[in-house]
Amino acid sequence: MAKRDFLSIQDLSLEELENLLALATRMKSRRTASMPLTGKTLGLIFYNKSLRTRVSFEVAMEQLGGQSVNLSVGLDLWQTEAEEGVAMDGIAAEHVKDAAKVMSRYLDAIAVRKFPTWRSFEEDRADRTIRAYARYADVPVINLESCTEHPCQALADLLTLRETTGDLAGKKLTLAWTFHPVPLSMAVSNSLLLAATRFGMDVTLATPEGYPLADDVIEQSRQNAAATSSGRVNIVHDLDAGLADAQFVYGDSWISIPHYGTDRDTELRERYRSWCLDTKKMQHTANAYLLHPLPVRRNVAVTDEVLDGPRSLIYTQAENRLHAQKALLTTLIR
- Quote the least distance from Cβ 71 to ligand CP, whole Å: 15
The Cα 169–Cα 231 span in angstroms is 7
| Residue 183 beta carbon to ligand CP: minimum distance, rounded to whole angstroms | 15
Residue 141 vs 233, nearer CB to ligand CP = 141
CB nearer to ligand CP: pick between 58 and 278: 58
How far apart are alpha carbons 241 and 246 in whole angstroms? 10
Residue (140 or 293) nearer to ligand CP, CB: 293
- Cβ neighbours for 327, distance < 8 A, ≥ 6 positions apart: 20, 21, 23, 24, 27, 155
CA angle 83, 333, 35 (to 5 degrees): 145
Minimum Å gap between C-beta 189 and ligand CP is 12
Reduced to 3 states, what is the DSSP secondary structure of residue 284?
Answer: coil
Nearer to ligand CP, 52 or 162 (CB): 52
Total number of residues shown for the chain: 334
Amino acid letter at 306?
Answer: V
Of residues 99 and 152, the one with the C-beta less far from ligand CP: 152
Give the nearest distance from C-beta 319 to ligand CP in angstroms. 12
d(CA 143, CA 275): 29
Q: Which residue is nearest to ligand CP (CB)?
A: 53
Which three-class secondary structure state does DSSP give residue 290?
strand
Q: Using CB under 6 A, list all residues that contact ligand CP.
A: 50-53, 145, 153, 293-295
Shortest separation between residue 172's beta carbon and ligand CP, angstroms:
23
Q: Between 52 and 95, name the residue whose CB sits nearer to ligand CP.
A: 52
Reduce the DSSP state of residue 72 to 3 states and report it: strand
Torsional class of 166: left (φ above 0), alpha (ψ -120 to 50), beta (otherwise): left
DSSP conformational letter for 298:
B
Closest CB 15 distance from ligand CP, rounded Å: 26
